[in-house]
Amino acid sequence: MTVEQFADRHIGPDPDSERRMLDTVGYGSVEELMDAAIPEVIRWHGRLDLPAAASEQEAIAELRALAARNTVAVSMIGLGYHGTHTPAVIRRNVLENPAWYTAYTPYQPEISQGRLEALLNFQTVVTDLTGLATANASMLDEGTAAAEAMTLARRAAKTRSNVYVVDADTLPQTLAVIAGRAEPLGIEVRVVDVDTDELPAEFFGLHLQYPGASGAVRDHTALVAAAHAAGALVTVAADLLALTVLRPPGEIGADIAAGTSQRFGVPMGFGGPHAGYLAVRSGLERMLPGRLVGVSKDAAGDPAYRLALQTREQHIRREKATSNICTAQVLLAVMAGMYAVYHGPDGLRAIAGRTHGMAARLAAGLRAGGVDVPDGGFFDTVTARVPGRAAEVVAAARARGVNLRLVDADRVGISCDETTTDGHLESVWAAFGVAPVSGPVPAALPRALARTSDFLTHPVFHAHRSETAMLRYLRRLADVDYALDRGMIPLGSCTMKLNATTEMEPVSWPEFAHLHPFAPAEQTAGYRELIGQLEGWLAEVTGYDAVSVQPNAGSQGELAGLLAIRAYHRDRGEGHRDVCLIPSSAHGTNAASAVMAGMRVVVVGCDADGNVDLVDLDAKIDQHRDALAAIMVTYPSTHGVYETGIAQLCAKVHDAGGQVYVDGANLNALVGYARPGRFGADVSHLNLHKTFCIPHGGGGPGVGPVAVRAHLAAYLPGTGADGRPAIAAAPFGSAGILPIPWAYLRMMGADGLARATGVAVLAANYVAARLRAHYPVLYAGNKGLVAHECILDLRPVTKATGVSVDDVAKRLIDYGFHAPTMSFPVAGTLMVEPTESEDLAELDRFCDAMIAIRAEIDKVGAGQWPVGDSPLSNAPHTAAMVSADDWPHPYPRSVGGYPAGVDRAGKYWPPVRRVDGAYGDRNLVCSCPAPEAFAQ
């Protein structure tokens, strides 16, 4: 027996199980199965050139060495990234707790009440602090939130102007993201100094920063009125901590607020991940992009949370979509919300007061020493004028271990935060060559802008202030949710595989957690090496030439890739090419991204086998030959099949002058066996939160690197200033979680990765083989095989018995499972993706449950149970329901609560019955409901 490799831990089935699974599927070995499943035209027979697999201990040691090459300095750079103390109870019980980080997006509300409540807390924090009516459950970062605010303003504005006005005191990286998003949409961004410049005569929106990047706190009331008079909407990008002491945007008539909640207990992480936010005034809530948590009721009439207004989601809107955001930043929004729960309004006010006190004393010391600090109010940041000496001051501070912001040759920016100490101020004063100041100094907040309104008055922000109470609150919420730490989450297209503890550990190390994204390069050598290696390994895995990890979700990688294609055509004098072909089976983000990249979406049909219809493709190419920019296909297709026509498809599009985008969300079926960059594609995004083990976090974070062939390398994301579009606010996006895929690749090695792919495909085919007799498997490819997932067709059953796909999904909860992906990509079906990480016992438990459910459906079909009062229609069953004195149903309680094969001792009980989504959409409530709502 050899020493266990990490791959043996990551991959669920052992060799014996593998043999039994192969027997069921009818193959002698995984290689034989893969030879049959994967079309030879795309098959790659090489071996990935990656370092030999490291053990968990070796990987941690290497990561420690990389971490040691980063320098954790005191960060006073500001620009929307601040030092913060993550309460240890939140770090350990949320960030480091698989009950939170391995959960999926709460599309199945009955098993997600804990994280939905946590997100509702987050939304309440944002609405209370901004003074606006409705906030969503997080955005990817401040820059992208501000860009979404721009497009929202354009949709809602009364004027048809295409001019968007941006305050010159906006965070530079926000401006870069706004500019990058505006250009393909034909929006003209005009930067104005709001202190001195006139507003243009016509514009559809105005973006203001509050406080400004310089630290200045301005009264924007008159600007808001002027913008409204012009028919424009106003976005205020506001600092949430400052809003505890400053008049909120909603109280001066702002329509939209955007920003980040990073400084609410979420480490900077060299740029991310953290939760951006977006809030709107009343009347705009139905235009708000992203996911929105709301209150509704369950089948018993009790309050229950669920995602509201889901019909707006990109999955359905496709080319009519206005935003492509899908994966957001749930885990980080949970942390920020809990930070507010833990501190309460008075605690937050105290943190803000202390932070401001530091900044005020800093400014007083500088002024006393003769340094020019402009008059006017500020919150936590001051910009000092030291003509010609700025670089020297910044260097002197750095020598003392403090990073300041070099604004230009004459100005230095200094930001205080919750972690600022007297010692830090002394270092800064010394760097400026001025004497320290001690004792309190007068506040520098403009009195007229002081906040007078209450916030966070809801009991949740007062009830969990001791650590014991907080610990129990977190435990209670986690306990009502279903995550990978309870059982399988067989979600097709989502690849819910193991998120190994060793991969997760480095995320909270200070050397990775506490770096500012604009820290000097010499302090971030470890990060840069890690990122360089990761990009190189991902290029090797995909067969592409260059990779950028900047996009902080798959959707963002899509946009980055399409913008690269657009720029490529333009540089070749073919800027008129603007048609993007997208198969009807595509994920909704594809079409939405194409629209955001300024392209026209043309849908290509699928044939009866679920493959891209090559005849229709020919027709669409003929029709749009001169305008063809790209095709966007998922491979293997969203139907879970290795299409044999892929090479032909690529050739046809290339012949017509178009580029081929392969959506890499399904890369788990390819790694080690086929490389999109070598079988005809020009660009792909990957989802590191699917294939490469970043946990889903309940709906984020994610990382969506974009990978390109050499001819597109010059168009990869940048910072705006370097001539490349900024896709995210930070240069390396959500760098803080990149140690996860790094560790996965490092510990799996070439052979482990290929084995994982083989076992993932074997597991999907095993499930298909076991369930085929009970539910038709909708599509199959070569030799009747599926790829890494399979679609179970419920439509015949629904037609015959009235039992819906929803009923089956909810009944699976009673059996102790998270439902597979529902009604995507085909309505009325379930898409199952078991992944390589589930062992045979769990795969069998799932198959047995599906087979038992089929028998229950048959009883409904036979008339034994009425379709409207069966274990299926009443699912999921709560403990309260089956233990109630009253049991009016035609089947025994035990059938409802303890269906066949369920472990009675370890049974998962959902806290609510089936949630009525429509009710909540008609009665939209998106912040914490009054506790009376829960009174029995």
The binding site for ligand PLP (CB under 6 A) comprises 326-327, 493, 553-555, 587, 589, 634, 638, 663, 665, 687, 702, 704
Asked whether the beta carbons of 12 and 846 are under 8 A apart, the reply is no
Q: Please name the residue that has the structure tokens 């507010």.
A: 340
Print the SS3 string covering 755-791: HHHHHHHHHHHHHHHHHCCCCCECCCCHHHCCCCCEE
Smallest gap from residue 703 Cβ to ligand PLP (A): 8
If you ran DSSP here, which 8-state letter would residue 661 be given? E
- Of 326 and 404, nearer to ligand PLP (C-beta) is 326
| SS3 label, residue 740 | helix
Smallest gap from residue 214 Cβ to ligand PLP (A): 34
- Of 17 and 734, nearer to ligand PLP (C-beta) is 734
Tokens of 340: 């507010």
| SS3 label, residue 337 | helix
- Of 383 and 590, nearer to ligand PLP (C-beta) is 590
Smallest gap from residue 705 Cβ to ligand PLP (A): 11
If you ran DSSP here, which 8-state letter would residue 899 be given? -
| SS3 label, residue 730 | coil
Smallest gap from residue 527 Cβ to ligand PLP (A): 22
Distances in Å between the alpha carbon of 278 and those of 4, 205, 210, 588, 690?
47, 15, 14, 21, 26
Query: CB 28: neighbour CB atoms within 10 A?
Result: 10
Print the SS3 string covering 247-262: CCHHHHCCCEEEEECC
Q: Please name the residue that has the structure tokens 């989802």.
A: 687
Smallest gap from residue 785 Cβ to ligand PLP (A): 20
CA pair distance 922, 209, nearest whole angstrom: 34
- Of 632 and 716, nearer to ligand PLP (C-beta) is 632
Asked whether the beta carbons of 621 and 630 are under 8 A apart, the reply is no
C-beta nearest to ligand PLP: residue: 554
- Of 140 and 843, nearer to ligand PLP (C-beta) is 140
CA pair distance 829, 806, nearest whole angstrom: 9
Smallest gap from residue 95 Cβ to ligand PLP (A): 20
Smallest gap from residue 108 Cβ to ligand PLP (A): 16
Q: Which of 299, 108, 107 is nearest to 914 (CA)?
A: 299
Print the SS3 string covering 799-826: HHHCCCHHHHHHHHHHCCCCCCEECCCC
- Of 327 and 611, nearer to ligand PLP (C-beta) is 327
- Of 5 and 555, nearer to ligand PLP (C-beta) is 555
CA pair distance 532, 536, nearest whole angstrom: 6
Smallest gap from residue 663 Cβ to ligand PLP (A): 5
CA 572 to chain CA centroid, Å, is 34
- Of 124 and 493, nearer to ligand PLP (C-beta) is 493
Burial class of residue 503 (count of CB atoms within 10 Å of its CB; 0-12, 13-18, 19+) = buried
- Of 416 and 612, nearer to ligand PLP (C-beta) is 612
CA pair distance 80, 310, nearest whole angstrom: 31
Smallest gap from residue 554 Cβ to ligand PLP (A): 2
- Of 151 and 687, nearer to ligand PLP (C-beta) is 687
Smallest gap from residue 368 Cβ to ligand PLP (A): 51
Tokens of 807: 């009923």
- Of 112 and 493, nearer to ligand PLP (C-beta) is 493
Smallest gap from residue 389 Cβ to ligand PLP (A): 45
Residues 6+ apart with CB under 8 A from 526: 65, 66, 67, 68, 69, 70, 511
Smallest gap from residue 665 Cβ to ligand PLP (A): 3
Burial class of residue 650 (count of CB atoms within 10 Å of its CB; 0-12, 13-18, 19+) = buried
Smallest gap from residue 787 Cβ to ligand PLP (A): 13
Phi, psi of 411 (to 5 degrees): -130, 145
- Of 144 and 765, nearer to ligand PLP (C-beta) is 144
Q: Which of 556, 904, 763 is nearest to 564 (CA)?
A: 556
Smallest gap from residue 498 Cβ to ligand PLP (A): 18
Q: Which of 730, 261, 752, 735 is nearest to 506 (CA)?
A: 735
- Of 390 and 496, nearer to ligand PLP (C-beta) is 496
Q: Please name the residue that has the structure tokens 């630290």.
A: 215
- Of 444 and 596, nearer to ligand PLP (C-beta) is 596
Smallest gap from residue 634 Cβ to ligand PLP (A): 5
- Of 381 and 691, nearer to ligand PLP (C-beta) is 691
- Of 209 and 634, nearer to ligand PLP (C-beta) is 634
Smallest gap from residue 664 Cβ to ligand PLP (A): 8
Smallest gap from residue 932 Cβ to ligand PLP (A): 37
Burial class of residue 779 (count of CB atoms within 10 Å of its CB; 0-12, 13-18, 19+) = buried
Instruction: Please state the length of the chain.
Output: 936
Asked whether the beta carbons of 252 and 221 are under 8 A apart, the reply is yes
Helix 525-542 vs helix 739-771: angle between axes, to the nearest 10 degrees? 30
- Of 5 and 687, nearer to ligand PLP (C-beta) is 687
Smallest gap from residue 821 Cβ to ligand PLP (A): 9
- Of 494 and 860, nearer to ligand PLP (C-beta) is 494
| CB-based burial, 607-635: b 16+ in 10 Å, e otherwise | eeebbbbeebbeebbeebeebbbbbbbbb
Q: Which of 316, 297, 315, 105 is nearest to 918 (CA)?
A: 297
